[in-house]
């Protein structure tokens, strides 16, 4: 008969190992991948997921040792899950503008150059807002 405490401990250890492994994979992707647009994938997905695993492990651990659920970790993970795409979008925009300014081609990229916009105009980050661009979309 396996006691439930042992299972909880096993699950906590598994979450710690999983989280740290994903954080390592994300940083390895940051080193290994050829261009900035591809390098963005590692930190924004793998590392954020890894941190989520470690925070879940922390919730489990404090439930195990002190018998109380704590919400601080969930606060940190929710905040990170909200902010990671935003910072990735900002870095990607910086990269697009730098690439257009310097006219450099990303060397050795599987993704290749930035494709042309499918519509009539350019990509939104290059253009000023159009006259009929809605300021908000809430009153539609």
Partner 1 sequence: MISYAIYFGFACLALAFAFNLWRLLRGPTVGDRIIALDTMVINAIALIVLFGIVTNDGVAFEAALLLAMVGFVGTVAYCKFLLRGDIIE
∠ CA 88-91-92, rounded to 5°: 85
| CA-to-CA separations, 30 to 27, 37, 40, 116, in angstroms, rounded | 5, 10, 7, 26
Question: According to CB under 8 A, which one of 7, 21, 69, 111 is a site residue for partner 1?
Answer: 21
State which of residues 20, 100, 114, 123 lies at the interface with partner 1 (CB under 8 A).
Answer: 20
The residue from 45, 80, 100, 123 that contacts partner 1 (CB under 8 A) is 80
3-state percent breakdown (helix, strand, coil) of the chain, nearest 5: 65, 0, 35
Q: Tell me which DSSP letter residue 106 carries.
A: P
DSSP H/E element including 97: helix 72-102
Quick one: which segment of 70-78, 116-124, 127-135 binds partner 1 (CB under 8 A)? Answer: 70-78
Which stretches of the chain bind partner 1, using CB under 8 A?
9-10, 12-14, 16-17, 19-21, 23-24, 26-28, 30-31, 36, 39-40, 42-43, 47-48, 50-51, 54-55, 57-58, 61-62, 65, 70, 72-73, 75-76, 79-80, 83, 86-88, 90-95, 97-98
């Amino acid at each position: 008969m396996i006691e439930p405490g042992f299972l909880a401990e096993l699950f906590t250890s598994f979450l710690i190992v999983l989280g740290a492994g994903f954080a390592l994979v994300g940083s390895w992707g940051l080193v290994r991948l050829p261009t900035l647009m591809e390098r963005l994938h590692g930190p924004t997905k793998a590392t954020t997921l890894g941190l989520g695993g470690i925070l879940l492990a922390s919730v489990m651990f404090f439930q195990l040792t002190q018998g109380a659920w704590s919400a601080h970790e969930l606060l940190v993970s929710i905040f990170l899950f909200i902010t990671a795409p935003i910072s990735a979008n900002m870095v990607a925009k910086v990269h697009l503008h730098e690439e257009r300014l310097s006219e450099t081609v990303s060397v050795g990229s599987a993704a290749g150059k930035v494709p042309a916009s499918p519509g009539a105009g350019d990509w939104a980050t290059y253009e000023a807002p159009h006259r009929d661009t809605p300021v908000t979309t809430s009153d539609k």
